[in-house]
Every structure is written in C-alpha cells, then in structure tokens.
Amino acid sequence: MRVEIIVILAIVLSSATALTVSSNNGKSNETVLSPVDINSSLIDPDRYLYEFNYGRVYKGDNGTTIREFTIVVEDKRLEVANGIYFDAWTYNGTIPGPTIRATEGDIVRIHFINNGSEPHTIHLHGEHPANADGVFEIVNPLGSFTYEFIASPAGLHLYHCHVNPVDQHINRGLYGVFIIDPKVPLKPAKEMVMLMNGYDTDFDKENNFYTVNGLPFYYMNNPIEIKKGELVRIYLVNMLEYDLINNFHLHGQLYKLYRTGTNMTNYELTDMVTMSQGERAVLEFQYNYPGLYMFHAHAIEFSDKGWTGLFKVVE
Ligand SMILES: [Cu+2]
C-alpha cells in the first residue's frame, strides 16, 4: 500500500519564515528555533553520538569472526526541529541509521528488511562483491535481502539507499556510518560519531535545516562533556544533500585530520575541514584548557540553521 505523503504546508511555511529572519547587515541573526523535546522525538543525538553496533557475533569454521546485523526500513513521522514533523524513511526507525562497526577481515552479514512503502536498498561504501553493492538488487516493500562481504579496507565508511531518485531517498533519511577498525586497534580514546546532514522538509531541493546527528542546535543546548587532556576521536561523515559542501570547524584547538581514516599515520593539523557529499574523516584532538568551545559548520548559513554545537571541557 502506498502511503500518501502529507505535507503540512502551514508549518513548513511558518518555519521557513522563522528561519530566514537573519538581518541583512551581517551583524546578527535571530534564528528562533527552540530545542526539540528529546522525549517526544524519535531522534536521539546523545545516544547516537556513542552508539556503536558490533552485531551478533559468531565464529566461522576457520575462526573468522562473523557479524550479523538486521536493518529494517520503516516510514516514520519524525520531529526534526521544534514542531516540524517530517515524513521520513528510516533505517531502524531513526535518523541517522545505526552505526555499524566491524574489524578488517570480519565477515559482515546484513539482513535487510523493507517494511517501508517504497523500494529501497543499502549501498555501502568500501570493498565488496557487486551483488552486495545495493544498487541493482532493488528490495520492494515487504521484501528482504542479505548483504554479505568481508570488511575491507580499514577506515571510515558510510551507507545509504541507492534507489532512484537517490537524492530523495537520502533526503528522507536513509543513511548511516560504517566503521571498519584495523586489525591492530587504534590507541584508546573517547570516541564519538558525528554525521552531518540536512532536511529539505518542503521538498524544493533546498535544505531548511542543517544538523549534526539529526537535530538542529541539539549540542548547543546539550554540550558534549569531555575531560581536559583526554584524547577525543570523532568519526565525521558528511551526508548533506542539495548543498555541494559542508564543513567542520573546531574552536580553541586544532585536530589531527585523517581523511577517510584509511591511513592513521599521516595527518594534517588543522581546525577546518571541508567535505563534499559522501566524504568523511577521522579527527583526533585534546583540549588543554577547560571551558566551553563551539564546533560548527563554517558555512554560516548552515550554522545559523542548526549545524552548531558545544564541547564542555572539564578538569
Ligand atoms: Cu530508498
């Protein structure tokens, strides 16, 4: 059954008005979004930040680790900003989809079930056979498919639906992060995932909101606490559709930038990285002074419309 998409024009139009009241003198903006009540939203940036899914683990005959995951597509009406409801298509009920994590050489098996109203797939970045690429094996509503491959190469990857029109399947929320750890583990750190996205809630191919981890301004109202001197490692992925670039700027410190995370030896020391869609990088840093520090897109339109947050560095 095809579910009719309901667009509540009044809400969308009023939100668009609220979001574009920036003054023209360039000195200030008056973005009036207030924080979403996390209890009423199915998007939870606190949980998403630290939730790594390692799957159901088995040992194969030759000792190989097998990791099985189940990902289900569901249509969900999600509150993506205060009072703004979006008819999303989700992996496992939320945006972004679950972060899946394996070690290089593991066998990864993803049981994919389409309980949505449209055809979908999972297209993973990384190395795998053609039939696990999630492009030609379209999974219709109530259908299922199993993707199986050997995790390779170590690095930071991602996944998203690849059914046409791909931009719309991405805009609706079908994407997530895929981490492949090297066989020799990285040094211990406080690890977190940050996925940069946007929402075109009125379907005019321009984003109305920008976020990291699903809700605009979330970490401005809920700063991420880290300890002074503690090594922080961020798995940063850009899934923003309809804008050519996105970026991540850190205040008060520079980070080691490892593009795609495939070579964790050579890095650039910087406080700015700009990425196009599908690009990703591992960032490492530590703060030496306590206090509040912003992180945000340096594209100011994006930060004004939600892509901004705070680290709270404590002793
Ligand atoms: Cu899709």
Contact 261, 281 (CB under 8 A): yes
CA of 278 to the centre of ligand 1 (A): 16
CA of 130 to the centre of ligand 1 (A): 18
CA of 246 to the centre of ligand 1 (A): 23
Tell me how far apart the alpha carbons of residues 145 and 69 are, in angstroms, rounded to a whole number: 12
CA of 237 to the centre of ligand 1 (A): 19
Per-residue pLDDT of the chain (315 residues; tens, 9 = 90+): 344 443 333 333 333 333 333 333 333 333 445 555 555 568 999 999 999 999 999 999 899 999 999 999 999 999 999 889 999 999 999 999 999 999 999 999 999 999 999 999 999 999 999 999 999 999 999 999 999 999 999 999 999 999 999 999 999 999 999 999 999 999 999 999 999 999 999 999 999 999 999 999 999 999 999 999 999 999 999 999 999 999 999 999 999 999 999 999 999 999 999 999 999 999 999 999 999 999 999 999 999 999 999 999 999
Provide the pLDDT for residue 82: 87
CA of 256 to the centre of ligand 1 (A): 34
Instruction: Specify the fold of 38-181.
Output: Immunoglobulin-like (2.60.40)
CA of 48 to the centre of ligand 1 (A): 21
Provide the pLDDT for residue 40: 53
CA of 106 to the centre of ligand 1 (A): 27
The yes/no answer on whether domain 190-314 falls in CATH 2.60.40.420 is: yes
CA of 165 to the centre of ligand 1 (A): 8
Provide the pLDDT for residue 24: 34
Q: Whole-model pTM?
A: 0.87
Provide the pLDDT for residue 12: 37
Provide the pLDDT for residue 67: 97
Provide the pLDDT for residue 61: 85
CA of 96 to the centre of ligand 1 (A): 14
Domain extent listing, the chain = 38-181, 190-314
Phi, psi dihedrals of residue 128, rounded to the nearest 5° = -170, 165
Identity of residue 252: G
CA of 72 to the centre of ligand 1 (A): 12
Tell me how far apart the alpha carbons of residues 217 and 18 are, in angstroms, rounded to a whole number: 15
CA of 160 to the centre of ligand 1 (A): 8
Number of CB atoms found within 10 A of residue 188's CB: 8
Provide the pLDDT for residue 36: 53
CA of 169 to the centre of ligand 1 (A): 4
CA of 33 to the centre of ligand 1 (A): 29
CA of 121 to the centre of ligand 1 (A): 6
Provide the pLDDT for residue 54: 97
Same fold yes or no, 38-181 and 190-314 = yes
> What order do you get walking across the sheet with 190-199 strand by strand?
209-212, 190-199, 232-238, 280-285, 255-259, 268-270
Number of CB atoms found within 10 A of residue 144's CB: 13
CA of 212 to the centre of ligand 1 (A): 21
Tell me how far apart the alpha carbons of residues 258 and 182 are, in angstroms, rounded to a whole number: 14
Burial class (CB in 10 A: 0-12, 13-18, 19+), 184: exposed
CA of 163 to the centre of ligand 1 (A): 5
CA of 176 to the centre of ligand 1 (A): 13
CA of 122 to the centre of ligand 1 (A): 8
Closest CA to 86 of 7, 19, 164, 154: 7
Q: Cβ neighbours of residue 301 under 8 Å, at least 6 residues apart?
A: 210
CA of 143 to the centre of ligand 1 (A): 13
Closest CA to 218 of 36, 20, 69, 72: 36
